[in-house]
A and B are shown apart, each in its own frame.
Chain A
Amino acid sequence: MRFIESLGRSISEAPPVQSSDTKLDEEARRLAAGVARGDEKAFQELYDRYQERLFRFALVLSHGDETVAGEMVQSVFVIAAAKLRAVDGEQHLWNWLALVGRQQIFKTQKRQKRDSAILGMARLQNSSHPDAADKKLEDALDAALKDLTVEDHLIIEWFYFDGLNHQQMADRMGTTSKAVSSRFERIRATLRRRVQRSLSSEL
């Protein structure tokens, strides 16, 4: 499947060239300096640039708890608005956001399970490397995709890779748009359940 092949490609991709890194670093410095000045536009840009990545990280840290992950993302950005200062570059900025996120998740978990707070911290330290989080989430998604039927897999691929809409998929499958739509929602629910189960099973 192209989906799986692209996974292999994305993992083996070479790191970005130096000029791209420099550009990212400059952008990160600009955004952090803007937020430090109280610039709302810079803050909005910072949010749009990092919220998805931070959410995925939070999702892994919270073992698939979407609500906790969402709260964490929100807290991190509010703290960033209040406290973010100058950064050296992109990696520095991401590490700062991830560190604050980790602290927020820990606080939430501590609130939820006061008795097992120490245990929770130990687990977090083992599983909270920002760069490892994406890999963990990707593995969970791959496992969930692998269990889909060939036809369900195709529907996901058409929608997310080929950009087909429900009507176009219906035409390919020789069925109605409504049928595709409800099937698509069922597949999404299944994937979602499996990803969350996979992440929570790491507890």
Chain B
Amino acid sequence: MNSEKQKLIQELVDEQSATRREATLLAGARMLRRRRWRRTALHTTLAAACVLGITAAFFWNTTPQSPPVSAIQSPAAEPAVKSLTDSELLALFPETAVGLITLEDGRKRLIFPRPGDEARYIKRM
């Protein structure tokens, strides 16, 4: 349709054009304001969530972490058995003669040459 005909039709049948324009733009502006508000609210919420997330991540990484419970408790629960060297063992009996021999199966045995020493120092189970 050419523009003259469009103009003619518009003038013939659309007498409320100006009033309608004003009313529509007014109503539309209200909707647009609401839309802008929603966008702003959404952006603000997203930004706040980002900041919160970054802050949480920062504190998570910088706070010194307590060692695992098992790591603390294990020494107390199971004290390490300290082995004595041969010399340390022999030094435990400074007042008497004592010898240490190695048996065939690799076990070691304390020998007390003086009678009564073995009974004195070693308590049999």
Contacts and interface: CB of A to CB of B under 8 A. Distances in A.
A78 B1 CA distance: 27
A147 interface: no
A74 B5 contact: no
B105 interface: no
21 contacts: A10-B1, A38-B39, A43-B25, A43-B29, A44-B25, A51-B20, A51-B21, A52-B14, A66-B16, A77-B28, A81-B31, A81-B32, A82-B34, A82-B35, A135-B1, A137-B9, A161-B4, A188-B11, A191-B8, A191-B12, A192-B13
Interface residues of B, number: 31
Interface residues of A, number: 44
Dominant secondary structure at the B interface: helix
B7 interface: yes
A74 B4 contact: no
A6 B1 contact: no
A82 B34 CA distance: 8
A78 B31 contact: yes
A47 B2 contact: no
In the A-B complex, the 9 residue pairs with the smallest Cβ-Cβ separation, listed nearest first, are: A38-B36, A81-B31, A81-B28, A10-B2, A38-B35, A82-B31, A38-B32, A192-B12, A78-B27
A141 B5 CA distance: 8
Contacts of B9: 56, 59, 137, 141, 195
Interface of A: 3, 6-7, 9-10, 35-40, 43-44, 47-48, 51-52, 55-56, 59, 64, 66, 69-70, 73-74, 77-78, 80-82, 134-135, 137-138, 141, 156, 160-161, 188, 191-192, 195-196
B45 interface: no
Nearest to B11: A188
Given A6-B2, A138-B5, A78 B11 contact: no
B83 interface: no
